[in-house]
């Protein structure tokens, strides 16, 4: 089953008389409950594609169906509500608040969702424990390493129990050891929570952990590869 379906996406910008195309009629579908990697060189359009698929940015043309809903048929308020209820985000720069502890960072989105403080704290502790930070939950960002900050960001996305998780270059600011922890965590989230994880990265370590790799260049997908372990995990049709 496809969690995301994009059809004929076009995106570009105009500078003076010059028109530059970022996406050129790109179409794809993303399977539910898998870790899908969008890879490619800088400037190929992968971050723009992620922004459109998550509803953060409207394309010049084309459509995106997310969890059966047309993202760009409604207004911006409807998209904001969809993202709050169904999606989580992990960014390259962590996007943590300097005055909040790790636990407070993770609890924050639940407040916007109307979850009471007691339930939010319990869910926040559970999410931090899942990413291995239960002993660090009362520390501020300045007291955490880069890898720990990114794991807080993942816990903040995970605490919403999203059906869709978007990650934009989640390992680019990390050393090898911490990057590997983040990669393992994203893979675990996809397979243990049946969450659709869509990750943009040029980190080659992610390739071997992804269920599917979409290779982009110049605004189009040049190659679409399913990992052997993902193919083997697909349910087989019963013989009549």
For residue 89, give the DSSP letter: E
What's the rounded Cα separation, in Å, for the pair 218 and 190? 28
Please tell me the CATH code under which domain 33-55+87-233 is placed. Answer: 3.40.50.300
Q: Which tokens in the block code for residue 151? A: 């794991």
Domain assignments of the chain as residue spans, ordered by start: 33-55+87-233
Bridge-based pairing state of the strands 212-217 and 35-39 = parallel
Q: Taken in order 111, 117, 119, 120, is the CA torsion positive or negative?
A: positive
Q: Residue 19's pLDDT is what?
A: 82
What's the rounded Cα separation, in Å, for the pair 197 and 147? 19
Q: Residue 228's pLDDT is what?
A: 55
218 burial class (0-12, 13-18, 19+ CB within 10 angstroms)? middle
Q: Residue 229's pLDDT is what?
A: 52
Q: How far from chain centre, in Å, is Cα 40?
A: 16
Residue ranges, the chain, pLDDT below 70: 228-240
Q: Residue 120's pLDDT is what?
A: 97
Task: Name the nearest CA neighbour of 8 among 55, 64, 68, 58.
Answer: 64
């Amino acid at each position: 089953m496809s969690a995301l379906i994009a059809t004929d996406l076009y995106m570009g910008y105009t500078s003076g008389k010059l028109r530059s195309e970022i996406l050129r009629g790109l179409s794809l579908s993303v399977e539910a409950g898998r870790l899908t990697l969008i890879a490619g060189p800088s400037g190929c359009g992968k971050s723009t594609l992620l922004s459109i698929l998550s509803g953060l940015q409207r394309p010049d043309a084309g459509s995106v169906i997310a969890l059966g809903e047309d993202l760009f048929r409604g207004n911006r308020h409807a998209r904001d509500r969809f993202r709050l209820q169904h999606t989580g985000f992990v960014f390259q720069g962590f996007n943590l608040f300097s005055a909040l502890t790790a636990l407070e960072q993770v609890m924050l989105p639940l407040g916007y969702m109307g979850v009471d403080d007691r339930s939010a704290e319990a869910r926040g502790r559970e999410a931090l424990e899942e990413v291995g930070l239960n002993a660090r939950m009362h520390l501020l960002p300045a007291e955490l390493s880069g890898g720990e900050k990114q794991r807080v960001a993942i816990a903040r996305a995970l605490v919403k129990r999203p059906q869709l998780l978007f990650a934009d270059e989640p390992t680019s600011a990390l050393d090898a050891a911490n990057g590997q922890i983040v990669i393992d965590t994203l893979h675990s989230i996809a397979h243990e929570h049946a969450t659709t994880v869509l990750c943009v990265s040029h980190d080659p370590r992610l390739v071997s952990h992804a269920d599917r790799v979409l290779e982009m260049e110049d605004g189009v997908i040049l190659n679409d590869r399913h990992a052997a372990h993902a193919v083997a995990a697909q349910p087989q049709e019963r013989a009549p």
